[in-house]
Chains A and B, each alone.
Chain A
């Protein structure tokens, strides 16, 4: 691996490691951690903020994934139908 590709590979690894396939989860968790820090600094022991939010974001990410999967499935099915010869597509 040359010196130009190395930082790109490291960057891709770090993005995959930290962010993964749904960036919204990472953003919300980072914001929740920042908010927790803020609450702690004003004397509120906000240990209760991140865990439920992590679960809610997981639920939302799963829903988004399923929704996306269904859309892809629909597009795939449509393209399959379009690729079929007219005779077989119209056959009973």
Chain B
């Protein structure tokens, strides 16, 4: 394989990991809340990203990514835990398939018609992950003297994973809302934990693979908490919740 080929493959694969995280958040939030607001948030994120990338160029590597990871990670963790909690309560009260509450519709939009929660989650996911992809592109591209190839590979990874995300989104939208909220809450909590701690300087034992370990850990915890809620909730309270 040529030097350009190696740079392309390395950058593409490294960018794919970040793009999967980005698209997972966008698809999960879009399916759970509002597609329009989620895509608006993603578009705003890409716009900010484009301005930063074009404005800074190769100087992009000077951006302190660690504090950004801590901030975005902590916010995702705190918000994710709220959905995690709500998902557990609803799954315990109504099962995984039966939830369609009024709250799901009422809490979505402000007077501007935008669901700011969906917008913000999507925006943050795109900016943080997009910035990481940009850093990968700049690092590999500049060091190998193949910036054009690296840009092509990074953009290609986002397009490919984005297309896969769009392709699976109708299937994701058909998942019962109760289950989806629990799954997305678990995902946001896992990503938030991973990013916040990574930003604080923690070295995860298995690097990015520990996102999967965190997902498994929180999923098992959710199952245990749902079981505890089911056993502890009185029939009268179930009526109040549903």
Contacts and interface: CB of A to CB of B under 8 A. Distances in A.
Interface of A: 1, 9, 13, 17-22, 25-26, 29-30, 33, 36-37, 40-41, 45-47, 50-51, 54-55, 57-59, 61-62, 65-66, 69-70, 72-73
Interface stretch (B54-62, B158-166, B194-202): B194-202
A18 B79 contact: yes
A61 B240 contact: no
B193 A50 contact: yes
B17 interface: no
A37 B84 CA distance: 24
Q: What is the size category of the interface that chain B forms with chain A?
A: 35 or more
B70 interface: yes
Contacts of B2: none
Given A40-B200, A54-B189, A58-B225, A66 B233 contact: yes
A47 B241 contact: no
B232 interface: yes
Contacts of B110: 9
Contacts of A69: 237, 240-241
A54 B77 contact: yes
Nearest to B189: A54
B143 interface: no
